[in-house]
Structures are given as C-alpha cells and as structure tokens.
Amino acid sequence: MSRTLVAYFSASGVTKRTAEQLAEAAGADLYEIRPAVPYTQADLNWMDKRSRSSVEMNDRSFRPELADKDADIASYDRIFLGFPIWWYVAPTIINTFLESYDFAGKEIVLFATSGGSGLGKTLQGLAPSCPGADIREGKLLNGNPSADELKKWVENL
C-alpha cells in the first residue's frame, strides 16, 4: 500500500481536481474530507455575513462535523492536506479533521486553492490541532498545475 495520502476538502470541486492530480503525481491514495452537512451554494456566499461559512469562519473555535471518521491515518507517513482558502486561512473543518485522528509522528504537507490569496497564517491556525506532527506550509496550487510540476514539487519536498 502507498504510504502517502492526499486528504482534501473541497466545497465546489476545484481543490478536488487538484487533489486527484496530486495523488496521481505522488502515487498516493486519496481521501475526501466530507462535512456531515454538505455546504450549499448559499452556505458558501462570503458576501453574506449571515451565510453558514461566514458565521462559522467568524468563530475559529467552531468545528463543523465530519460525515465520516474512517481515514486510515495510521497507515501513512506523509499526508498531503488540501482545502480551499476561506477568509485567508483553512476552513475550520480542517481543524476538525486534524483533531479527529492521531497525527503524531506524521509529516503533513499543506496545499490549497484560492481566488488569489496565499496560505497566509494557515499553518499557525492548524498546527495546534495536530500536536506532534511535522506540519509544513506546502504550496498554493492554483492554476491547474501540470503533472510534471506536481511531480517535481513532490520529489523536491
């Protein structure tokens, strides 16, 4: 079995596609982080202060529930962890995911897609959720990077 996992959350499909390509390039298994309650289009409206994503992201201690807790984290050494940037950081469901498993001794490499923002303080927001893990900032993977680019990135980590 591959010792590398690509775990991702994607609300509208962009990160999903990148995660699939990264898994292919890295020879990794793929795991989708799914919310117990899927985000609707209205939930994702960042211009509406009362939308679900706005309300949740306003409280960084909020932990959206997961649909499943069946990722076999123990079997992997390196976990690529991908998500869309929400309000300049990772959606808090990524904290839920990290807090749901034991990542001690694992290498976690972040990747994200966005409308243009970088990873900002994403790492600082996630590190307390995975004590004992070697968590690395990784890369913003916007613009549909080629298989070659992804392979080079993985090889040089």
Q: Does 46 bind ligand FMN (CB under 6 A)?
A: yes
Is-contact 34 58, C-beta < 8 A?
Answer: no
Segment contacting ligand FMN by CB under 6 A, of 27-35, 66-74, 80-88, 129-137: 80-88
Separation CA 138–CA 121 (nearest Å) = 12
By CB under 6 A, name the one of 12, 124, 144, 146 that touches ligand FMN: 12
Retrieve residue 79's tokens.
Answer: 């976990």
By CB under 6 A, name the one of 20, 117, 123, 151 that touches ligand FMN: 117
Min separation Cβ 4 and ligand FMN, Å:
20
Signed CA dihedral, 64, 69, 74, 78: sign only: negative
Q: Among residues 58, 83, 93, 73, which one has the least CA distance to residue 141?
A: 83
Residue 102 has a CB neighbour count (10 Å cut-off) of 12
In the region spanning residues 118 to 157, those forming contacts with ligand FMN, defined by CB under 6 A, are none
Q: Which is nearer to ligand FMN, 105 or 115 (CB)?
A: 115
Which stretches of the chain bind ligand FMN, using CB under 6 A?
A: 10-16, 44, 46, 53, 84-88, 113-117
